[in-house]
Amino acid sequence: SIAGIPDSTAFNQFTNKLYITSPETGKVYIVDGYSDKIQEIMIGYGLGEVAVDPIEFGNTGSLIFVNNQFNNTIEVIDGGTNKVIKSIALENSPYRIGLDPIINRIFVTSPYLFPSEITVIDYLTDMNRNIEIQKKSIRNLGIAPLGVWVDSSIKKAFFVDIWNNTVFAVDSITLNQKSIIMNKTGLHPNSISFNPKNSMLYVGNSGENFVTALNVSTGKSQPIYTDSPIIDIAIDQDND
């Protein structure tokens, strides 16, 4: 079983493994979808978002990125050995992680800063499973960009600002940015997900009972009402 309250999950469809973080225990739990066995990796208290690059090491494993808000780091786990192979130091506390496995780039939000800052991390591995890191920043992207969603197919990273009704679309390669104003959003929009099949971006509001559905092609948005505030959003792209 998994101890503590889970914070974030990420799934590797190639290895059928689910990664779950627990801030209370400081552990990453790895659930094998074939055997239902659970492994644990002790990293440290304050773990939050987890993201998986399922293709970096081919069929011998993957790369798992986990943020640690207490230590201001991103911990990198080798999915083949389940060991931490790199600790990436950040200037500020990380919150959400968006990952593009095609260009080996992750985007890390730190919303409780002024001015706002997004950390962009490029990673490169070699045949010996060593990893090299390069960092850069996107500054002044709204007031407090919190949620992030990266879509490799359209080469875009989307960020939603928790304090206003703006979504920022950033070219994941050039880092050029464009703002999209939503005409209907709720209190504290904090989660975001995108469906490239219909160009719809869905923004969850932790302070109100609806999701904002935004067409990024037209800029039009509308609410989808729910029974409770939204903590996170996931999309099944195989069904309409």
For residue 36, pLDDT over 70 is answered with: yes
Residue 187: its pLDDT value, please? 67
Instruction: Write out pLDDT tens, residues 192-238.
Output: 888 888 888 888 877 778 888 888 888 788 888 888 877 777 777 66
Residue 239's pLDDT is 60
The whole-number pLDDT of residue 35 equals: 94
Give the Cβ contact number of residue 182 at 10 Å: 23
The answer to whether residues 136 and 145 touch, using CB atoms and an 8 Å cutoff, is: no
Find the mean pLDDT for residues 123-139: 86
- Of 102-116, 148-162, 165-179, 222-236, give the lowest mean pLDDT range: 222-236
Average pLDDT over residues 13-28: 92
Instruction: Quote the pLDDT of residue 199.
Output: 86
Tokens of 64: 């798992």
**Model-level pTM?**
0.88
List all residues 6 or more positions away from 218 whose beta carbon is below 8 Å from its beta carbon. none
Structural tokens at position 68: 């640690």
Distances (CA, A) of 17 to 39, 56, 84, 231: 10, 15, 17, 23
Give pLDDT, residue 182: 63
H or E stretch at 232: none
Q: Which residues contact 108 (CB under 8 A, 6 or more apart)?
A: 67, 74, 90, 94, 95, 96, 97, 98, 118, 119, 120, 121
Given this model, what pLDDT does residue 59 score? 57
Q: Does residue 19 carry a pLDDT above 90?
A: yes
34 contacts: CB under 8 Å, gap ≥ 6: 16
Q: Of the ranges 19-23, 128-132, 210-214, which is most confident? A: 19-23
pLDDT band at 75 (very low <50, low <70, confident <90, very high): very high
DSSP state of 28: E
Contact 47, 21 (CB under 8 A): yes
Comparing CA positions, the residue from 66, 149, 84, 122 lying closest to residue 158 is 149
